[in-house]
Amino acid sequence: MNALQRLFRFNGGVKPDYHKEPSTHLPIAVAPTPTLLVIPLHQSIGGPPRPLVKAGDGVLKGQRIGDADGNVSSAVHASTSGTVVAVEMRLMPHTSGLSAMCVVIEPDGRDEWVERNPFDFRAATPTATRDYLRDAGVVGLGGAVFPSHLKLNAGKQGKLDTLVLNGAECEPFITCDDVLMRERADRLLKGAAIMREMLAASRVLIGIEDNKPEAIAALEAASAGNIDTTIQVVAVPTRYPAGGAKQLIRVLTGIEVPHGERSTDYGVQCFNVGTAFAIYEAIALGQPLISRIVTVAGNVGQARNYEVLFGTSMRDLVALCAPLPDTDRVIMGGPMMGFRMPSDDVPVVKATNCVLVGSQKLFPQPPPEMPCIRCGECAKACPADLQPFEMYWFSRARIFGKAQEYHLFDCIECGCCAYVCPSRIPLVDYYRFAKSEIWAREVEKDAADLARDRYEFRLLREEREKQEKAAKLAAKTAAGREKAAAALAEAEKPARTPDEEAKHALIAAALERAKAQKEQVHPENTGNLTAEQRAEIVAIEARRAEIREQAKPHLRQDD
Amino acid sequence: MNNSPYFLKPASVQSVMMRVLLALIPGIAVYVWFFGAAVLVQIALASVTALLAEAAMLKLRGKPVMLFLGDGSALVTAWLIALTFPPIAPWWLTVIGVLAAIVIAKHLYGGLGQNPFNPAMVAFALMIVAYPSLMSQWPAVGFTDFMPQWNAIFGTRQLDAITMATPLDALRTALHTADARATVAGVLGNDATFGNIGGKGWEWVAAGYFIGGIYLLQQRIITWHMPAAFLATLFVISGGFALYDPTRFVGPSFHLFTGGAMLGAFFIITDPVSGCTTPRGKLIFAAGIGLLTWIIRTFGAYPDGIAFAVLLLNIAAPLIDMNTQPPVFGHKRKGGRPS
Amino acid sequence: MLEALLVMALGAVVLGAALGYAAVRFRVEGDPLVEKIDAILPQTQCGQCGFPGCKPYAQAIAKGEAEINQCPPGGEEGIHKLADLLGREVKPLSAEHGIEKPKSIALIDEQTCIGCTLCIQACPVDAIVGAAKQMHTVIAKQCTGCELCLPPCPVDCISMEPIPESVESWKWRYPVVRIVPADKAAA
Ligand code: SF4
Ligand code: SF4
Ligand code: SF4
């Protein structure tokens, strides 16, 4: 049925060894519920959710434990029923080795769901549907974890030409989308139909790399009996990174979405196939996103795909697959774009498509970096049509402005350039470094601009108050211009005015009282307060404790 | 430990350089056949000098010597010098040339990857300015006896008996200095120097380089842009002038198959470090070299023009690159619409 | 010979004219110097430089009345940027004006705060909220860490807490180039 589909090509790309076979032999297995779940609150792009539970609370499976902070955020849920034992800083699945707020849940083994109700999105307004998906915690499962509700917006025209579902899965080792498509094709298609309706898309193209014939066959079989003929399965040539959203859109529709622009404006939107499945579960079954399929592969005896509850430790997961003794690292994601974990005891999160077990033998330390010989291999391999060696040159010299001029931020960090570089330069490391430096500077600059504005406003306000005060004084004394002028002069003098004197006396008295109190018992200025004030204090206390907690590692470092 | 990508393609600077050396071998073989084994002596001499100079410079600059010595870039420079210098040049000419290339043109500019000029061409240009006559003495074709050549290299006397000017040189000298009646056809027709196409033996050497160049293309070490643009420019311009006045301008087949044209097209101008890197930039760069080569060959005072043409375009390379940046993904056409 | 010289001279004149034209044609109407300097200063408004705020310090630098190394929060990087902008020499941070500290924000111990409003008056960016006899609190996002609120507090209830590095603010390090011993590399 897709023979007529015209395909386009993107430049560059590489063909690494795929290593996908081993993890596709066995069907998806459900990973056992661990003894402790550590669920990070911040699992998506956008603001970190606010915790809704505290230590000691009982939670049910699928209960919301973190509330989206604003619209650019996504909720998180308890992956099983049990008791919250702590809401605290825990090591994150992030290269930095830093911690962040997590809800730690001890499962009770009953696996008891909250009440689940299908969501009738046809009866609801688009905004209500998006809010529902935000609160169901649905985010992009391809690895970028961008909140899906923000993308399920048909944009200005109110309709879309093409909805692209990304089943290309081009990274070596990873097969989670492959097995999902093989085993759950029908539900995936139902999810696709829901999305098509929400986006009013004229057609749906499911792009799959042609090295996954089983997945293509499964989806074609499932869609054969489908009434919805607008859904097409399209085999795309196998070439990394065909699964990059922009590259896949290009291959399927010919459209190149420039960096920093929304693809909706070009009439196309792209979602991972796993996300379509999650949307089906959320809308049709009323189940929030609490688990996903994770490939465990690499240096293990039995690679396999598991359905894993978020918060499960990667260590437990890897243990199911008989890791080989020379294992020396755990990588989240694939070998091209994945990130090394600071420890294997970090939780599986929404972004975890693959837990790749590594060893020196499998992923040897590259030979030492040589100077760039400007051979242009990297430029030939770059799918974003960049000149990687120029960006490398300027990032290395810390000339960030120039690096940006060579379109540093168009780089998708796919790693093709570093993969082919004969000088073995860790090019992507330089881009990551330059990008985070540039971001930090932006943040600093924004803060400085804010401070400048506020400072200038304050100066303005002070000036105005001064004048108002002078005017008031003048009116009060009502004794002619000389006195008003004198008062103005008085107000301008830095010396204390009479009412300031009075204030100071008051402060001194308060100080005395405070001192006396301090000596007696402990400082208490919270004597007779209303209930609201008390509640507020509790909230503030919690916040403060959090800040102190966050500050701790830092303080220790400083010592 | 390193970060992603954890997989790397098995590639290295060393393997690139080694394949370049491999690609030179057909040309060298033909060279030996027509001009004798002296060129092998020059290659050995240049290689040893280059490696020693490279090691010394790396040591002085505090770089890991073995690591960088192994990259093979010094050898490529050395071979190119040996192949562009006359095979019977005295040994010290080659040694000085190599030293100039490695010490001045390469390391004083920051070593591998940083040199703005093609080191081999720096050496050639310096030597031809300093020793113009020594740089134009080539063994007569067919005079392949090894001992006289060896003596020419290491002896103190130059053996006039075995040397002759290169076809390019001979042609220009004849056209410039001889009486006004000299014509291209006349010169080409009456001298043993000139073979069928680019000078006796020379066209076969050029063919050898061409084969090596095809290998480099097949290995994707070089792209088609530079050789094609260079050869095409040389072809068009020499052809145009030969049509205009065949008595004073020699045709394209001669230009393409004589002197360093083929070696230059595939091995010299394609040096990535000092050349252009963008596809359009490469075309402009190589076309510029082609044009200048023809001008210098036709009107200049030196036997071959490639060296100077390369150096001049080296200067312009960064500017050309800057103005020929290929469009980035999504910025190609307005609105990113399919073409 | 003469021809060559003439050609060269002509070339020089043409090039010079082109450059001059480009300079006039493409000249960017720059911000006044003070604005540019102010854009580099961190806007902490702490006064450690000896001026009542970042803008006055910028004005003083522009007039040549102040050194470029008096701003501790701007740190070494700030000095480098100022030196670049002004074409002056880079100097180490002047010790008498303070030292570069990790960026911190003020935290009011609300248990001890007596609600005197003195810190509110001291804060240059109005980052403290509260009213007389009410607890005060610092809006973390707006606090510049200038420490100006510390001295006026009569009960010493304000402390500076360094901002911890978080997963979001973490930066990729500069890639380290491994130096291999020569003998190993040969293998
Ligand atoms: S592949 Fe490596 S050596 Fe070649 S140009 Fe790119 S960065 Fe330089
Ligand atoms: S990592 Fe960036 S520069 Fe390198 S190939 Fe990918 S997109 Fe291009
Ligand atoms: S709260 Fe204190 S440290 Fe923060 S900006 Fe205001 S005065 Fe400065």
pLDDT in tens, B89-104: 889 999 999 999 999 8
| pLDDT for the residue numbered B94 | 93
Task: Give nearest CA residue, ligand 3 atom 4.
Answer: C143
Distances (CA, A) of B96 to A183, B40, B53, B82: 72, 18, 11, 12
Q: Give the atom of ligand 3 at the shortest distance from the alpha carbon of C128.
A: 1
Write out pLDDT tens, residues B137-157.
777 766 667 777 787 788 765
Average pLDDT value for residue range A160-177: 92
Parallel, antiparallel or unpaired: strands A304-309 and A29-30: parallel
Write out pLDDT tens, residues B265-304.
999 999 999 999 999 999 999 999 999 999 988 887 777 7
Is ligand 2 within 6 A of the CB of residue A13? no
Task: Give nearest CA residue, ligand 2 atom 8.
Answer: A382
Point out the least confidently predicted range of A133-142, B28-37, B73-82. B28-37
SS3 label, residue B21: helix
Average pLDDT value for residue range B330-336: 58
Which chains sit next to C, with 3 or more Cβ pairs under 8 A? A, B
CB contact under 8 A, A385 and B326: yes
Whether pLDDT at C29 is above 70? no
CB contact under 8 A, A419 and B8: yes
Residue of A nearest to B325 (CA): A387
Query: What is chain A's percent helix, strand, coil content, to nearest 5?
Result: 40, 20, 40
Q: Give, for ligand 1, the residue of A370, A391, A395, A427 to mutate: max count of ligand atoms closer than 8 Å to Cβ.
A: A427
Whether pLDDT at C80 is above 70? yes
Distances (CA, A) of B5 to A328, A377, A388, A409, B2: 16, 16, 15, 18, 8
| pLDDT for the residue numbered B118 | 93
Residue A90: enclosing H or E segment and its boundaries?
strand A82-91
- CA B301 to CA B131: how far, in whole Å? 13
- CA B124 to CA B135: how far, in whole Å? 9
pLDDT band, residue C185 (cuts 50/70/90): very low
In the reported structure, the alpha carbon of residue B6 is separated from the centroid of ligand 1 by a whole-number distance in angstroms of 17
Write out pLDDT tens, residues B54-103.
999 999 888 888 888 888 899 999 999 999 998 888 899 999 999 999 99
Whether pLDDT at B334 is above 50? no
Enter the DSSP assignment of B280.
Answer: H
8 Å CB contact between B37 and A202: no
Which ligand does the CA of B13 lie closest to?
Answer: 1
Question: Which one is predicted more confidently, B25 or B140?
Answer: B25
User: Residue B315 is encoded by which pair of tokens?
Assistant: 């200067």
Beta bridge partners of A59: A82
In the reported structure, the alpha carbon of residue A7 is separated from the centroid of ligand 2 by a whole-number distance in angstroms of 23
pLDDT band, residue C76 (cuts 50/70/90): confident
Please give the torsion angle defined by the CA atoms of residues A428, A434, A439 and A443, in that order, rounded to the nearest 10 degrees.
150
- CA A307 to CA A289: how far, in whole Å? 12
Whether pLDDT at B187 is above 80? no
Average pLDDT value for residue range C61-79: 87
pLDDT band, residue C36 (cuts 50/70/90): confident
Which ligand does the CA of A408 lie closest to?
Answer: 2
Average pLDDT, chain C: 78
| pLDDT for the residue numbered B281 | 94
CB contact under 8 A, A372 and B113: yes
In the reported structure, the alpha carbon of residue C102 is separated from the centroid of ligand 2 by a whole-number distance in angstroms of 34
Non-local (6+) Cβ contacts of A22 within 8 A are A297, A303
Which chains sit next to A, with 3 or more Cβ pairs under 8 A? B, C
Is ligand 2 within 6 A of the CB of residue A297? no
SS3 label, residue B225: helix
pLDDT band, residue A544 (cuts 50/70/90): low
Average pLDDT, chain A: 86
Q: Tell me which of A408, A507, A532 to substitute to probe the interface with C (most C C-beta atoms closer than 10 Å).
A: A507
| pLDDT for the residue numbered A316 | 93
CB contact under 8 A, B272 and A368: no
Point out the least confidently predicted range of A224-233, C99-108, C172-181. C172-181
Average pLDDT value for residue range B45-50: 95
- Chain B residues with CB under 8 Å of A422 CB are 11-13, 15-16
Whether pLDDT at A359 is above 70? yes
- Ligand 3 neighbours by CB, cut-off 6 Å: C 106, 122-123, 125, 127-128, 138, 143-149
Q: Tell me which of C85, C123, C137, C170 to substitute to probe the interface with A (most A C-beta atoms closer than 10 Å).
A: C170
- CA A279 to CA A149: how far, in whole Å? 10
In the reported structure, the alpha carbon of residue C150 is separated from the centroid of ligand 3 by a whole-number distance in angstroms of 8
Q: Give the relative orientation of helices A273-284 and A185-199 as an angle to the nearest 10 degrees.
A: 80
Average pLDDT, chain B: 84
Average pLDDT value for residue range A74-102: 93
pLDDT band, residue A496 (cuts 50/70/90): low
8 Å CB contact between A93 and A349: yes
Q: Give, for ligand 1, the residue of A14, A373, A390, A427 to mutate: max count of ligand atoms closer than 8 Å to Cβ.
A: A373
pLDDT band, residue A534 (cuts 50/70/90): low
Give, in words, the CATH class of A367-488. Answer: mainly alpha
Question: Which one is predicted more confidently, A269 or A158?
Answer: A269
Which ligand does the CA of A386 lie closest to?
Answer: 2
Write out pLDDT tens, residues A202-244.
899 999 999 999 999 999 888 876 666 678 899 999 999 999 9
- Chain A residues with CB under 8 Å of C113 CB are 525
Is ligand 2 within 6 A of the CB of residue A14? no
Q: Nearest-CA distance from A559 to chain B in Å?
A: 28
Whether pLDDT at A429 is above 90? yes
Name the residue facing B9 among A383, A385, A419 (closest C-beta): A419
Q: Give the atom of ligand 1 at the shortest distance from the alpha carbon of B272.
A: 5
Q: Burial level of B31, CB count in 10 A (0-12/13-18/19+)?
A: buried
Q: Give, for ligand 1, the residue of A14, A369, A378 to mutate: max count of ligand atoms closer than 8 Å to Cβ.
A: A378
Beta bridge partners of B182: none
8 Å CB contact between A489 and A466: no
Comparing CA positions, the residue from B253, C45, B295, C79 lying closest to residue A454 is C45
Whether pLDDT at C186 is above 80? no
Give, in words, the CATH class of A21-356. Answer: alpha beta
8 Å CB contact between A204 and A231: yes
Which chains sit next to B, with 3 or more Cβ pairs under 8 A? A, C
Write out pLDDT tens, residues A452-464.
888 888 888 888 8
8 Å CB contact between B113 and A374: yes
Which ligand does the CA of C44 lie closest to?
Answer: 3
- Chain B residues with CB under 8 Å of A423 CB are 12-13, 113
- Chain A residues with CB under 8 Å of C110 CB are 537, 540, 544
- CA A84 to CA A56: how far, in whole Å? 5
- Chain B residues with CB under 8 Å of C186 CB are 66-67, 70
| pLDDT for the residue numbered C1 | 41
Point out the least confidently predicted range of A447-451, B3-7, B8-12, C174-178. C174-178
Q: Give, for ligand 1, the residue of A369, A370, A375, A392 to mutate: max count of ligand atoms closer than 8 Å to Cβ.
A: A375
Is ligand 2 within 6 A of the CB of residue A425? no
Write out pLDDT tens, residues A28-86.
999 999 999 999 999 998 889 999 998 999 999 999 999 998 889 999 999 999 999 99
Name the residue facing A422 among B6, B16, B327 (closest C-beta): B16
Whether pLDDT at B7 is above 60? yes
Write out pLDDT tens, residues C112-166.
888 888 888 888 888 888 777 777 778 888 888 888 888 888 888 888 888 888 8
Task: Give nearest CA residue, ligand 1 atom 7.
Answer: A389
- Chain A residues with CB under 8 Å of C126 CB are 454, 457-458
Show the domains of chain C with their CATH numbers.
32-97 (1.10.15.40), 104-162 (3.30.70.20)
| pLDDT for the residue numbered B192 | 52
Helices marked H in A152-308? 176-183, 185-199, 213-224, 245-253, 273-284
For chain C, the first-to-last Cα distance in angstroms comes to 60
Comparing CA positions, the residue from B205, B159, B167, B169 lying closest to residue B39 is B205
Name the residue facing A255 among B1, B326, B336 (closest C-beta): B336
Parallel, antiparallel or unpaired: strands A291-298 and A304-309: antiparallel
Domain boundaries, chain A: 21-356, 367-488, 497-518+538-559
| pLDDT for the residue numbered A154 | 78
CB contact under 8 A, A422 and B2: no
Write out pLDDT tens, residues B195-223.
555 666 788 889 999 999 999 999 999 99
pLDDT band, residue C22 (cuts 50/70/90): low
**pTM for this predicted structure:** 0.82
Domain boundaries, chain B: 12-164, 174-324
Return the residue matching tokens 């009996």.
Answer: A225
- Ligand 1 neighbours by CB, cut-off 6 Å: A 372-378, 388-389, 392, 420-423, 425, 427
| pLDDT for the residue numbered B164 | 65
Point out the least confidently predicted range of A392-396, C2-6, C84-88. C2-6
8 Å CB contact between C142 and C103: no
8 Å CB contact between A70 and A120: no
